[in-house]
Amino acid sequence: MKQFLKYISKHIACFLLVFCSLSAMAQDVHFSQNYATPLYVNPGMSGLYNGDFRVTANYRNQWAALSNRSTDARTIMLSADAKVAKGITKGGWLNAGILLYNDKTGFLSYNTNSVDLSLAYNTPMDGKKHFVSFGAMVGVSTRSIDLSEAEYASQFDGNAYNPMLASGETMVNNRFTRLNLSGGAMYYFLESSRKYIFGGVSAYNIIGSSFSFTDDNDTNLPVRLSFHAGGSWSVAKRMDIVPGVYFMNQLKSMKTDIGTLFRFVFYENVRSQKFRAFNVGPYIRINKHFDDPIGLDAFILALKLDYDDVAVGLSYDFNISDLNNATKGKGGPEISFVYSPKLRTSSRSNISCPRF
Whether 77 shows a pLDDT value over 80: the answer reads: yes
Q: What is the pLDDT of residues 312-351, one digit of tens each?
A: 999 999 888 766 665 666 678 999 999 999 876 655 446 6
DSSP code, position 294:
P
241: enclosing H helix or E strand: strand 239-250
What letters, b where the CB count within 10 A reaches 16 and e where it falls short, cover 49-88? bbbebbebebebbbbbbbbeeeebbbbebebbbbbeeeee
What pLDDT does residue 201 have? 97
pLDDT: which is higher, 184 or 327: 184
The pLDDT assigned to 51 comes to: 87
Q: What SS3 class is residue 221?
A: coil
* φ and ψ at residue 322, rounded to 5 degrees: -65, -20
Give the pLDDT score at 25: 42
Per-residue pLDDT tens for 226-270? 999 999 999 999 999 999 999 999 888 889 999 999 999 999 987
Q: How many CA atoms lie within 13 A of 80 on its CB side?
A: 4
Q: Is the dihedral of CA 131, 28, 314, 39 positive or negative?
A: negative
Question: What is the number of other CB atoms lying within 10 angstroms of the CB of residue 150?
Answer: 16
Angle, helices 2-10 vs 12-23, to 10°: value is 50
- Domain 2-168+181-347, second-level architecture: Beta Barrel (2.40)
Indicate the pTM of the whole model: 0.83
Distance, in Å, from the CA atom of 302 to the CA atom of 331, rounded to the nearest integer, reads: 13
Residue among 318, 312, 299 nearest 339 (CA): 312
Q: What would the mean pLDDT of 259-284 be, rounded to a whole number?
A: 93
Helix (H) or strand (E) holding 322: none
Of residues 38, 40, 43, 15, the one with CA closest to residue 29: 40
